[in-house]
């Protein structure tokens, strides 16, 4: 073993201690650029290696542990046994709002990328250290065993290649804006945002990742103002509730639990929206997440303080509202700006042996819904139909949403048939009729085309207007049935399955 080491790091954390520790073990230490300056100023005996990017081939050969070489300043380079290098944090740079693509080439780290590749290529003979967290274990192994076991060298090289792959993928994602995520080869690099308390169940570990280098948008821009950490289920509820709330222009409250909407109320004051959403499904709202598309005000906070809601999410909070909510024990308060929709947004679904990728369902309608019955829906029915349709878009398939006035009154989801979804929604509505008197015409939205039997059940339950995708073999029979009953029906021309 040649006791020689080369250091060239952007992240200077622990570099002095590592170099000093190597020196105490009898290593000759070489360094470049700002790393050399740091070590020299710290009084560490170090030899300067000077070169201009890209790194000369002769130097790379020395870094790979194969051949000696000479640097630009005439320093003879030995075959290095330890090479420590890390890269410029490109992800944090391109993720800044003010960063312009014209600046990218100024920040790409050619030199240390080449250094890491050269060293990691010959991992059997070179100890490649790509992260400061490995300085301590490497020093201990060198001190206690005089070298590193082959398996540990391999692990360190794997981390170096992982750093390189993440670096390259971040640049590729930034340049393509993830527009190639359905290409023959997908470049996808994820950077941890935070560890989660747990996954779907307490025995499952989980973490939240965002695309490396992506500008904060969506849940990676969320700020927990107050409350305990979030688990995977909290994030799913926050995502569903807040995205649905942003479908509305006027004041709205959406309550979500287990990644599905339980109650939605739009119109009136914000506090009225909250009360309406809670009445939509009092049992389903317990322990749920409440989302608002506007700053939360004091009256709304007063209502929230009297309910068992686990989390609240909104673009902001008024001073008095925040004071009241902070006093509520167990409540998680989350601030989240409205995300800017990207045309390249995708959904990922893990399956055995791979990953399914699809474009995000960002459309509400493909075109104006068509009225297919003789009677057109009234203005009140139209408003309720639109609210129900937005709600059912975020419910699990098969789903049905019943609405009256400006509130949903029953949402049924994750059923095996549209018939079960509609029947269950009607049952939920009847079960709470004593506490939720009718406030207008009863309307239905379904996320899948309705068979005749399903529509018969809906109309028998008091539904006067329906919106559904259409496109089923029973369409004509459904239209005739609605006409015979004086009901109105819209075909949306688009479906919103969600699994």
54 cis-preceded (ω within 30 degrees of 0): yes
Residue the block writes with tokens 């390189």: 164
Lookup: tokens for 430 = 């009847």
Summarize the confidence of residues 129-147 as an average pLDDT.
93
161 and 204 in a common domain: no
Give residue 267's pLDDT.
84
Angstrom distances, CA of residue 153 to CA of 26, 81, 148, 158? 20, 11, 6, 9
- Residue 167 pLDDT: 87
**Mean pLDDT over each residue of the chain, to the nearest integer:** 89
Q: Are residues 291 and 440 both part of a single domain?
A: no
The domain boundary residue, chosen from 176, 202, 234: 176
Judged by phi (left if over 0) then psi (alpha if -120 to 50, else beta), residue 493 lies in left
Q: What is the pLDDT of residue 146?
A: 87
Q: List pLDDT tens digits, range 53-69.
A: 556 555 666 665 556 67
Q: How sure is the predictor about 374, in pLDDT bands with cuts at 50, 70 and 90?
A: very high
Most confidently modeled range among 88-102, 210-224, 264-278: 264-278
Instruction: Name the residue with higher pLDDT: 179 or 362.
Output: 362
User: What length is written for the chain?
Assistant: 499
Q: Are residues 90 and 221 in the same domain?
A: no
* Domain assignment of residue 257, yes or no: yes
Same domain, yes or no: 195 and 171: no
Averaged pLDDT for residues 96-124: 81
320/218 same-domain check: yes
pLDDT score at 66: 58
Report yes or no on 119 lying in a domain: yes
- The answer to whether the Cα torsion of 190, 194, 198, 200 is positive or negative is negative
Q: Report whether pLDDT(347) > 90.
A: no
Q: For position 469, what pLDDT does the model report?
A: 97
Share of the chain above pLDDT 90, in %: 66
Same domain flag for 29 and 141: yes
Verify that 138 and 167 share a domain, yes or no: yes
Q: Looking at the structure, do residues 101 and 241 belong to the same domain, yes or no?
A: no
Same domain for 210 and 284?
Answer: yes
For 403-442, the pLDDT digits (tens) are 999 999 999 999 999 999 999 999 999 877 655 556 679 9
Give me 383's structure tokens.
Answer: 């408003």
What is the per-residue pLDDT for 62? Answer: 62
C-alpha distance from residue 314 to each of 336, 380, 406 (Å): 6, 28, 20
pLDDT at 54: 57
57, 125: one domain? yes
Q: How many domains does the chain have?
A: 3
> Is residue 280 in some structural domain?
yes
Q: Is the pLDDT of residue 137 over 80?
A: yes
Q: Which domain holds residue 147?
A: 4-176
In a domain, 499, yes or no: no
Indicate which CATH number applies to the domain containing 69: 3.40.50.1380
362 within some domain: no
Q: Is 470 helix (H, G, I), strand (E, B) or coil?
A: coil
Render 406-468 in DSSP notation, one character per residue: TEEEEEE-S-SSHHHHHHHHHHHHHHTTTTS---S-EEEEESSPPPHHHHHHHHHTT--EEEE
Q: Of the residues 118, 143, 176, which one is the last residue of a structural domain?
A: 176
Q: Please indicate, yes or no, whether residues 279 and 318 belong to a single structural domain of this protein.
A: yes
Top pLDDT among 72 and 402 is at: 402
- Under the banding of pLDDT at 50, 70 and 90, the label for residue 89 is confident
Burial bucket for residue 145 (CB in 10 Å: 0-12, 13-18, 19+): exposed
Tell whether 148 and 289 lie within a shared domain: no
Would you state the pLDDT for residue 435?
A: 53
Residue 356, domain member (yes or no): no
Of 153, 176, 199, which residue constitutes the final position of a domain? 176
Q: Domain holding 247: CATH number? A: 3.40.140.20
In a domain, 365, yes or no: no
The answer to whether residues 467 and 448 touch, using CB atoms and an 8 Å cutoff, is no
Conformational region of residue 437, where left means phi above 0, alpha means psi within -120 to 50, and beta covers everything else: beta
Q: What is the DSSP code string of 79-124? A: --SEEEEE---HHHHHTSTT--GGGHHHH--HHHHHHHHHHHHTTT
Q: Tally helices (H) and strands (E) across the chain.
A: 17, 23
Query: Do the domain assignments include residue 351?
Result: no
């Amino acid at each position: 073993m040649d006791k020689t080491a080369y250091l060239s790091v952007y992240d200077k954390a622990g570099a002095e201690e590592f170099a000093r520790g190597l020196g105490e073990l009898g290593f000759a230490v070489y360094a470049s650029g700002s790393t050399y300056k740091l070590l020299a100023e710290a009084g560490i005996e170090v030899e300067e290696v000077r070169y201009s990017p890209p790194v000369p081939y002769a130097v790379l050969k020395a870094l790979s542990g194969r051949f000696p070489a000479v640097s630009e300043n005439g320093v003879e380079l030995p075959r290095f046994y330890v090479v420590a290098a890390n890269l410029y944090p490109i992800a944090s740079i391109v993720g800044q709002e003010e960063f312009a693509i014209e600046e990218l080439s100024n920040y790409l780290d050619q030199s240390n990328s080449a250094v890491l590749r050269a060293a990691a290529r010959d991992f059997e003979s070179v100890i490649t250290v790509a992260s400061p967290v490995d300085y301590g274990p490497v020093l201990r192994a060198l001190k206690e065993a005089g070298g590193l076991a082959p398996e540990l060298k391999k692990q360190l090289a794997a981390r170096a290649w992982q750093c390189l792959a993440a670096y390259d993928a971040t640049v590729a994602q930034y340049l393509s804006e993830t527009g190639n995520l359905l290409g023959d080869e997908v470049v996808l690099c994820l950077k941890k945002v935070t560890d989660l308390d747990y996954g779907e169940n307490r025995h499952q570990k989980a973490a939240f990742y965002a695309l490396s280098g992506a500008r904060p948008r969506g849940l990676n821009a969320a700020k927990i103002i107050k409350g305990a950490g979030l688990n995977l289920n909290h994030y799913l509820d926050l995502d569903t509730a807040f995205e649905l709330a942003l479908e509305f222009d006027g004041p709205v409250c959406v309550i979500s639990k287990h990644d599905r909407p339980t109650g939605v109320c739009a119109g009136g004051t914000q506090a009225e929206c909250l009360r309406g959403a809670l009445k939509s499904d009092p049992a389903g709202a317990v322990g749920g997440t409440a989302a608002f598309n506007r700053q939360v005000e004091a009256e709304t906070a007063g209502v929230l303080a009297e309910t068992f809601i686990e989390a609240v999410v909104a673009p902001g909070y008024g001073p008095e509202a925040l004071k009241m909510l902070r006093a509520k024990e167990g409540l998680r308060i989350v601030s989240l700006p409205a995300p800017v929709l990207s045309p390249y947004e995708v959904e990922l679904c893990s399956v055995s042996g791979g990953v399914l990728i699809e474009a995000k369902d960002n459309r509400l309608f493909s075109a104006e819904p068509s009225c297919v019955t003789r009677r057109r829906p009234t203005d009140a029915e139209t408003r309720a139909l639109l609210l129900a349709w937005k709600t059912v878009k975020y419910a699990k398939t098969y789903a049905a949403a019943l609405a009256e006035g400006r509130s949903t009154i029953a949402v049924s989801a994750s059923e095996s048939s549209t018939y079960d979804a509609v029947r269950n929604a009607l049952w939920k509505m009847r079960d709470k009729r004593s506490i939720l008197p009718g406030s207008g015409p009863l309307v239905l939205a379904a996320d899948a085309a309705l068979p005749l039997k399903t529509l018969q059940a809906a109309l028998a339950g008091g539904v006067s207007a329906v919106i559904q995708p259409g496109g089923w073999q029973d369409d004509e029979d459904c239209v005739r049935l609605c006409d015979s009953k004086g009901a109105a029906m819209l075909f949306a021309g688009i479906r919103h399955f969600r699994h």
